Structure 1
Amino acid sequence: MLGAVETRSVSPVFVGRAGELGTLTEALSRGGAGEPQALLVGGEAGVGKTRLVEEFTHLARAQGAVVAVGGCVEVGADGLPFAPFSTALRALHRRLPAELAAAADGQEGELARLLPEFGDVGSHDPAAEDGTARLFELTVRLLERLAADRTVVLVLEDLHWADASTRHLLAYLFRTLHRGRIVVVATYRSDDIHRRHPLRPLLAELDRLRSVRRIELSRFTRAEVHRQLTGILAAEPAPALLAEVFERSDGNAFFVEELVASHACGAAAGSLSESLRDLLLVRVEALPEDAQRVVRTVAEGGSTVEFDLLAAVARLSEDDLIEALRAAVGANILIAAPDGDGYRFRHSLVREAVSDDLLPGERSRLNRRYAEALEQAPGLVRADERANRLATYWYHSRDAARALPAVLRASVETRKRYAYAEQLRLLERALELWDEVPDEVRGALRPMDYAEAYPPCGCDRETTPLRYLDLLAEAAVAARLCGERERALKIGKTALRLLDTDEEHDPLRAAWFWTERARLQSNLARGDGWAEIARAQELVRGLPPSAVHALVLAVAAGWAMLRNPGPDALADAERAVEYARLVKAEAIELTARGTLGCIMVAAGDTERGLAELHAVRERTTALGQFHEAARTHVNLSSCLEGLGRSQESVEVATTGIDMARSHGLVDSAGWIRANLAESLIALGAWDRGQEEAELLLRTAAAGTKPGGTALMLLGLLAVLRGEPAPAAARLAEAAARYGTRDPMPQYSLPMAHVETLVASAEGRLADVRAVLAAATATGFPPGTHRYGWPLVLAAVTAEADARGLPAAADGRPAALDLIRRCVRNLAAPAPVWQAHSLHVSAELARAEGRATTERWTEVVTAFEALDRPHELARARHRLADALLAEGGRREEAAALLREAHVTAVRLGAHPLREDVELLAARARLTPLTADRPAPQPLEAEDDAFGLTPREQDVLRLVAEGRTNRQIAEELFISPKTASVHVSNILAKLGVAGRGEAAALAHRLRLLDAPV
């Protein structure tokens, strides 16, 4: 509009920064080769971050890259949600409309939350807790698709102003961007990042990512200031001016320009202001009066002010406004916005100085003018910014009656965009304004327009006024969804205190807040939440059916499904379904039906329970309730695995992961992937199971339970492959993720199983017994047999392997009695668990010295009908051992060992492979594989581990629990010689201690005569 306007004081030459620019251009090269790059550029205000980025983007465009720049904006003291991403995507939309549309195909409704140009925002599901994660995942996939065959440079400026949602999206982008020709550069003011600045934790998190590089800009040296001055003045600066400017600017590039400008305005060098704010205002005060007025108006309008909006607020004639803008742009105070639709300050420091110089009444008057202009002509700003900016203008105008409805409307818009942190901030402003607003204004507000956090409590939302409690409910949910759980807990406490008074007594509202509190107690590892759920149940007991009543019952049933799915849980789930149907709350009904299906399967009503889960999956998918559909995939795959139908579980989980990822349901995909990894391991697909568990560990949010399950499964694989120490480390990490306040059987029993295997592998029988006793102290709730049988099997196998050890004798009767009690309390509703039951019985018999080939034949037959290769190989090894002990059936034993050996080798199950090979060697059987030589007959003076006769004598005494001195006395040797023999034995057996050596000797029958 202004045409060519001559500006002054900006350095026309790019000074210094060669190293930093080299780092950026190297990243551009690597990004163009398909290796995504992420860089953070930090430095104090005015040090030259923007100039460096401008130079870099110029080079990037020259090399054919597509550049999109987005800046965090400051409207008053508030940032707009996702502002830099929205701006950058808008730039990409202008540059590559067809390509961006193709990349967003099928997800336009979700991505419209970031870029309204995609169309109408998709439906908002208040129950979808991972709505934000879904939006983040879809955004990353959009960028990856767009950068598949072109280099994209994404620049995000001024992170120190970033809203919480922008910070979270940036962190997610940096963590998960692994494909595409893309370079992401983000800038921030390092001098603004004080100890409590919200950007500080993000910077610390990004520092831990190897994929993120940081560039810190330092101030200019004297020589660089000299070059900058020479460029600005187009002449050699006078020595006195150089000395004065360098001293006062201290090498800050922007201050150099301001000092030169103030000198050009007529101020003598010696009279330059000592105050930074005054220095920045020198050029503003040199402008004509109308230009100063326009500059002050722009300062209060936000980071960028549209021309038409500015014209409405400044109240100048068009000619006068343009002349004023021409003067401000010519003085290099204002510049045209990149899209050419408005004006902004060239540097935010000047804007801050001008804004700070406004009088309090002047500031509120300008904000009122902005608000009134925007209400009269909403089209003055983009639709996606309108609500937030109007709320900000009215809030800073100090007009509570006009501000409250505007703030509430903005909170609704931010909620639709899944910007829950910004929604919380706006709701807190509404709570702050509430008592300042006249009753008639509050009375005109309706819950249906502003609140959706909980179902209607028997009131007409169209006629009942919005209440303070409604806002508290909205704020509590927003706080929970944006991760501010402590804040959510405090908001809930405030609400419950109000509900305790006679004026606000409302049992349905109170019940809703207690269920929220239960969720938070569990999330914060403060307990299992049952006391809160019980309180909610008391409050709704005897009341007519309602959505809240159905919700409370559904939450109670869901709690019990994971901890004690007994008759009470079944009754709660059935009533939740009934009440939800009565009040037509289908979302709650479907959640309750999914829970009901799981409880029915756990109770033995298998086919009806599975049918219910399948029906819920189909209905939620048809309704587009993908969050609940993903939850159903989690539960269905888990139930199938619990029934031993692992292949079906894999199929359901694979479909569920595809569905969840296609809709950006990252957290849900993690839960499903945990089930997939578990089923793959059960099926003997250990390598693929490990890959899935490792992928889950990389992608699961920090501290979440799916990550704990991934660690537990990796620990299980490690111990099964003969690596107990790494398994123990994984187990400790998993325990930290699970926490100790809410020991759900689905986590505690598998953890105890792995811990038992580790202790057994290390010869710590006492620890095996202690773990089993602690894990089974409260019994086995319905449905936990899938975890109980492997745990009991591991414990009884350790007892059988230690049979004959003197150290194992103490406490053995009690240990075996506990195992028998466990067997009596464990259900075996499916063939796989019936096979486990037979296996446990056979190991019990082996522990008591009464194992028979008939028992082991029965176990082998049971597992042969199942897809459980590791368990089958173990059973075949035991049957072969029993056959050889009875004598006369060597060929049959050899065939069993060959089959077991093939499985052990394929799985990488080194302990099982070792057991099989040692048994074959002791029995002098034919080769186990074609590429291995036949075991040579054992000489009398040696055994399979190369132990000499003397070492075998020492090993027998070690197995009896003798000390080195006692061994020396028994064999008439010195204690030192006995110690040397023990060390040699440990080395040959490959064990870490005497107890482990004794256990191995008995397990492999090394002290028996050769078979």
Structure 2
Amino acid sequence: MLGAVETRSVSPVFVGRAGELTALTEALSRATAGEPQALLVGGEAGVGKTRLIEEFLDEACDRGAVVALGGCVELGADGLPFAPFATALRSLHRRLPDELTAAADGQEGELARLLPELGDPGSHEPSDEDATARLFELTVRLLERLAADRTIVLVLEDLHWADTSTRHLLTYLLRTLRRGRIVVVASYRADDIHRRHPLRPLLAELDRLRSIRRIELSRFTRTEVHRQLTGILAAEPAPALVEEVFERSDGNAFFVEELVVSHEAGCAPGQLSDSLRDLLLVRVEALTEDAQRVARIVAEGGSTVEHGLLAAVARLTEDELIEALRACVGANILLAVPDGDGYRFRHSLVREAVSDDLLPGERSRLNRRYAEALEADPSLVRPDERATRLATYWYHAHDPAKALPAVLRASVATRKRYAYAEQLRLLERALELWDEAPADIRSALRPMDYAEAYPPCGCDPETTPLRYLDLLAEAAVAARLSGERERALKIGKMALRLLGSEEENDPLRAAWFWTEKARLQSNLGRGDGWEEIARAQELVKGLPPSAVHATVLVGAAGWGMLRNPGPEALAAAERAVAYARHVKAESIELNARLTHGTIMVAAGDVEAGLAEMHEVRERKTALGQFNEVSRAHTNISSSLESLGRSREAVEIADAGIRLARSYGLVDSVGWIEGNRAESLFSLGRWDEAREAAEQLLRSATSTKPRASASLRLAQLAAARGELDDARRHLADARAVYGNRDPIPQYTLPMAQVAISVAAAEGRLADVRAQLADAQKGGFPPGTPRYGWPLVLTAAAAEADSRGLPAADEGRADALALIRRCVRDLAAPAPVWAAHSLQVSQELARAEGSESATRWAEVVAAYEPLDRPAHLARARHRHADALLVEGGHREEATALLREAHATALRLGDRPLREDVELLAARARLSLAPEKQLPAPAEPGDDGFGLTPREQDVLRLVAAGRTNRQIAEELFISPKTASVHVSNILAKLGVSGRGEAAALAHRLHLLDTAL
């Protein structure tokens, strides 16, 4: 209606910013070539961010790109989630309706939480921890599909106002966007980003992504201000005016415009206040009374106000309203919103100044009128914004009776959009309003309408009033689902304090809060959570069966499944299944059955346990509970790996990953990918395992899957002899898993990596200390997959160091400790029986009593299994034993060639070097086409050590210092030092300990083979 109104004082000439505009257009060119681009544009308020982006968008449109623009609004802080993304997607839906519908095919319900035009969002799981991540993943894939055949420019303005959910979605988009012709540009007001601003950590995180470019706009120089004034005035400005404007504006482009308005209005310098607010209000105060009134109303209504809503609040006649709006638009204070029926301030600084100029009572009155108008006619705003805006208006109207129900309705709306961070903020506002609202208002509220977190406890949800504790439960879950676990723990502690009073004696509700606290304590690394679970079990003891009782038992069974999957955990899982069945809580029952099946496998009832897990997976699939279907894939693949059935585990994992990705279950993908990487490592598909772990490290949205990736990378690096990488990845894993909640599936593999690194560096004391610490925790059922590799690594370290004086001290105790570990470990599958045989032979080697015949048995045990790395090591040891015993050179050669081929394929450097050095010393060829050379000459070690260096190496291995070596060999300490340095270089080791360990492992101090 007002699109043709002439506006004044916007700079008609684009000044400066040539380098910044070039950066944007170059990004557009790269995106058009198929390489996604992301840029952050920052600068203080009024410096020209919007104008730069407008110039860029003009260029993008000229090149045929599709532009989608969305802006963050201040209302977002009160719970309007995903505002810029929703606006941008709505723009794409208008421009590309058929293409967007096709790209969303099959996921319209989920994506409708962002873009309601796609249909009905449908139901949701009240405690679905993957819901937000799923929505994020689907959004990114939607954009990638849309940008497959066309260039899309997605602009998100004013990130400094972004709600938490928007910040999280943007972070996810920028981290995972890998394909498509798309440019993402986000702007923010740099001067608003104070030390505690929530955008600051996001910017720091994005700075670490090399794929993102930051553009910071500086203020104009005097020359640029001169050019801007020339454009505005359409004439050469007087030098005095240029100097005055430049000094007063300090080069801020927007302030230059405002100062020109002041000058054109005839204001003398002395009449213009130096305060920013007064400067910005000069233009408003020049309007008519009605126009000023409309400006004040729009300023309090939010970033954008619809025409109908404005008319209802302003209470002017239609002609009066149009004239007032015409004046505001003509003075360049308000703009008509493109693609909509509303108005916004041209610059947010002016809106803030007008809003700040309102009296407190005036602000409350305007918010009340907005709320009353919206209640009278809800169609005045978009349906997806209605609840949140009404809650905001009533809250700022300072009317608790109206605000409390409105805020609670808004919290439900944000929960259904998986915007849990905004739900939490609204619930905290409801808790603030609770005591201020009249009792009759509170008593009319029902938990069935506003709270889903707390399970039914036998009370009638239609007659029982909503209570403060219900809101605390809902807030605790919202905090946990939004990643604010510390806040969730604080809310839970507050609830438990209330439940400890006589007025709030509710054991079921207390048990629920204790179970939540157990989960949070474990997630935060504050403990294992057992004390809290035990407290919850005591509270429900003797009470009639309920969903809460079943939930507590599932928590106890899950605790046991991870830490001690023995008879007590199995009994707890069976009780949980029975209780859930009794109260007809099928979802809880299926979760309990999945845990029950996992524990059954660990306890030895393999086929029955696997069958139960598969049944749960099929039923969850039929119910459409795909988050739990993914958990079933996680548990089944893990159980198969524990049985040595790694190929089946990879197949199940692959199917689970495909399903999880199709439904955007990002965290579930992470858990399954971690299991898949472990099975790939077992199968000797090490390059694939590394790729899977590195991808998981990049894409995982929570800490434990990322730590799982670090652990897999640490294992792989240790196996390949990449010790620095192994230490680094191990430190990353330990930083997450820690020591407060020692779960064997994490602690035992971490100990194995630490032992492997220590053994490679000749630190036998550390090997023994690590094993002793690991043995204290024991090896409960289900842990052979972690315990046997750990014990095998320690036994091999003892065998490799046989003959070292430093190793001989305490060896008997060390071997006795290994044997105690062996007695504690079961061998429930052929692969662990093979490990048991290998450990026994490593112990024999450590005592000097190994046998080629027994090593042949180890080789035979591994040959039918998918464990190429272990088979290759067994073949190497078998060949070594044959050569030591004498003869059998052809058989030893065949074994070494097979081991060498495996080492090359795996990238197992330590094994490759061991095989090559053994073959060199024995004069055996690893090339099949070559003839076997003659046996090695006495004293030829394959390293080129001189006889004197061999003498020095014997003394190094005996633990002698350089001075002691010099005295014994009648040479100077300096000469001894030179010999030691030469030995280290020839052996390719970094220290005396490694040299001694290598010498004994390769029989360099023995007679020739």
TM category, shorter: over 0.9
Q: Which amino acid aligns with 1:649?
A: A
Deviation of 1:227 after TM superposition, in Å, equals 1.5
Superposition deviation, residue 281 in structure 1: 1.7
SS in 2 for 1:776: helix
User: Is 2:814 the counterpart of 1:815?
Assistant: yes
Query: Which residue number corresponds to residue 279 of structure 1?
Result: 279
* 1:347-746 paired onto structure 2 within 5 Å: 347-701=347-701, 704-746=703-745
Kindly state the Cα deviation for residue 267 of structure 1 after the two structures are TM-superposed.
2.4
Q: 1:649 to 1:60 in 2, by over 3 A?
A: same
SS in 2 for 1:213: strand
> In the alignment, residue 523 of structure 1 is paired with which amino acid?
N
The residue aligned with 1:989 is 987
CA distance in structure 1 between the partners assigned to 2:136 and 2:55 by the alignment: 30
For residues 86-485 of structure 1, what are the structure 2 equivalents within 5 Å? 86-485=86-485
Per the normalisation by structure 1, the TM-score is 0.98
2:83 aligned residue: 83
CA distance 1:742–1:321, change in 2 (3 Å): same
Q: Look up the SS of the partner of 2:213 in the other structure.
A: strand
For residues 281-336 of structure 1, what are the alpha-carbon distances to aligned partners after superposition, in whole Å with 9 as ceiling and x for unaligned? 22222212221221111111111111111111111111111111111111111110
Structure-1 separation of matches of 2:275 and 2:983:
81
Q: Deviations over 1:885-938 (max 9, x none)?
A: 33342222222222222212211212212222222233333x222477855643
Give the gaps of 5 or more residues in structure 2. none
Q: Are positions 1:921 and 2:920 aligned together?
A: yes
Contact 1:923-1:1010 at 8 Å conserved across structures = yes
Contact 2:133 2:667 in 1 (8 A): yes
Per the TM alignment, residue 369 of structure 1 is displaced from its structure 2 partner at its CA by 1.2
State the 1:77 CA deviation.
Answer: 6.1
Deviation string, structure 1 residues 967-989 (Cα, Å, up to 9, x no partner): 23333333322222222111111
Q: 1:826 and 1:944 mapped to 2: Cα distance?
A: 40
What is the distance in 2 between the residues matched to 1:369 and 1:932?
A: 95
Match of 2:883? 884
The question of whether the paired residues in 2 share the 8 Å contact of 1:157 and 1:188 is answered with yes
Distance 1:66 1:870 in 2: 53
Aligned 8 A contact 1:305 1:344 in 2 = yes
Letter in 1 for 2:956: V
Structure 1 residue 541: deviation in Å? Answer: 1.1
Q: Which residue of 2 aligns with 1:840?
A: 839
Asked whether the equivalents of residues 667 and 700 of structure 2 are also in contact (C-alpha less than 8 Å), the reply is yes
Is the contact between residue 72 and residue 79 of structure 1 (CA under 8 Å) also seen in structure 2?
no
Deviations 1:325-377 (A, max 9, x none): 11111111111011131111111111111111112221111111111111111
The structure 2 residue matched to 1:1006, chosen from 985, 1004, 1007, is: 1004
Q: What is the deviation of 1:76?
A: 9.0
Correspondence 1:945 to 2:943: yes
> Structure 1's 935 and 480: CA in aligned 2 closer, same or farther, altered over 3 A?
farther
Q: Which amino acid aligns with 2:1007?
A: A
Letter in 1 for 2:999: A
How far residue 247 of structure 1 moved from its aligned partner, in angstroms, is: 2.1
SS of residue in 2 equivalent to 1:850: coil
Contact 1:73/1:79, CA 8 A, preserved across alignment: no
Which deviates further from its counterpart, 63-72 or 706-715? 706-715
CA distance 1:33–1:238, shift in 2 (3 Å): same
> 3-state DSSP class of the match of 1:75?
helix
For residues 36 and 480 of structure 1, what CA distance do their matches in structure 2 show?
33
**2:155 aligns to what SS in structure 1?**
strand
> After superposition, what is the alpha-carbon deviation per residue over 1:6-40, rounded to whole angstroms, capped at 9, x for unaligned?
11111111111111111111111111111111111
1:201/1:935 Cα in 2 relative to 1: closer, same or farther (>3 Å)? farther
Match of 1:965 in 2: 963
- For residues 248 and 796 of structure 1, the distance between their equivalents in structure 2, rounded to whole angstroms, comes to 78
Residue of structure 1 equivalent to 2:761: 762
Quote how far apart the aligned CAs of 1:505 are: 0.7
Cα distance per residue 1:410-429 (max 9 Å; x no partner): 00000011111111111111
Question: Conserved in 2, the CA contact under 8 Å of 1:265 and 1:283?
Answer: no
* Residue of structure 1 in register with 2:864 after alignment: 865
**Secondary structure of 1:38 counterpart:** strand
**Matched letter for residue 928 of structure 1:** L
Q: How many residues align?
A: 1009
Give the C-alpha shift of residue 589 in structure 1.
1.1
Aligned to 1:11: 11
User: C-alpha displacement at 1:3, in angstroms?
Assistant: 4.8
Q: Whole-Å Cα distance in 1 between the matches of residues 871 and 908 of structure 2?
A: 13
Inter-partner Cα distance in structure 2 for 1:909 and 1:242? 72
CA distances 1:432-489 after superposition (whole Å, capped 9, x unpaired): 1111111111111110000001201221112111000000111111111112222211
Report the counterpart of residue 788 of structure 1 in structure 2: 787
Deviates more, 1:544-553 or 1:227-236: 227-236
Which amino acid in 2 is paired with 1:236? E
Contact 2:879–2:895, Cα closer than 8 Å, also in 1 = yes
Contact preservation (8 Å) 1:901, 1:916: yes
Q: Report the 3-state secondary structure (helix = DSSP H, G, I; strand = E; otherwise coil) of the residue aligned with 1:273.
A: coil
Counterpart secondary structure, 1:503: helix
- Look up the equivalent residue of 1:827 and give its one-letter code: A
In the TM superposition, what is the alpha-carbon distance from 1:941 to its structure 2 partner? 5.2
User: Which stretch shifts more, 153-162 or 68-77?
Assistant: 68-77
Q: Distance in 2 between matches of 1:898 and 1:836?
A: 22
Task: Kindly indicate whether the alpha-carbon contact (under 8 Å) linking 2:580 and 2:589 is maintained by their aligned counterparts in 1.
Answer: yes
1:936 to 1:382, Cα distance in 2 relative to 1, 3 A: farther
Deviation at 1:79, TM superposition (A): 5.7
Query: Is this contact kept in 1: 2:378–2:386, CA < 8 A?
Result: yes
Q: Is the alpha carbon distance of 1:729 and 1:666 closer, same or farther for their aligned partners in structure 2, counting shifts above 3 Å?
A: same
Measured at CA, do residues 765 and 923 of structure 1 come closer, stay the same or move farther in structure 2, by a change above 3 Å?
same
**Among the aligned pairs, what percent are the same residue?**
79
Aligned residue for 1:174, secondary structure, equals helix
The Cα shift of 1:88 comes to 0.4
- Once the two structures are superposed, the pairs formed by residues 17-96 of structure 1 within 5 Å of their partners are 17-75=17-75, 78=78, 80-96=80-96
- Distance (Å, rounded) in 2 between the aligned partners of 1:662 and 1:933: 57
User: Is 1:797 aligned with 2:796?
Assistant: yes
Alpha-carbon contact 1:76-1:302 (below 8 Å) kept: no
Deviation of 1:86 (Å): 0.3
Whole-Å Cα distance in 1 between the matches of residues 288 and 847 of structure 2? 103
Answer whether contact 1:876 1:900 (CA < 8 A) is retained.
yes
Q: Which amino acid aligns with 1:878?
A: R
Equivalent-residue separation in structure 2 for 1:397 and 1:734 (angstroms): 50
Instruction: Write the deviation string for residues 88-111 of structure 1: whole angstroms up to 9, x where unpaired.
Output: 000000111111111111111111
- In 1: Cα distance, 2:239 partner to 2:954 partner: 93
Letter in 2 for 1:717: L
Partner of 1:943: helix, strand, or coil? coil
Q: State how far apart, in whole Å, the 1-side matches of 2:429 and 2:343 are.
A: 29
**Do the aligned partners of residues 177 and 933 (structure 1) sit closer, same or farther apart at CA in structure 2, a change above 3 Å counting?**
farther
Question: What is the CA distance between 1:939 and its match in structure 2?
Answer: 3.5
CA contact (8 A) 1:942 1:949 kept: no
The answer to which of 152-161 and 256-265 deviates more is 256-265
CA distance in 1, matches of 2:283, 2:947: 99
CA contact (8 A) 2:937 2:1008 kept: no
TM-score (norm 2): 0.98
Contact 1:390 1:406 in 2 (8 A): yes
Q: Deviations over 1:831-864 (max 9, x none)?
A: 1111111111111122222222231121111111
Find the aligned partners of 2:7 and 2:921 in 1 and give their Cα distance.
Answer: 94
1:187 partner SS: strand
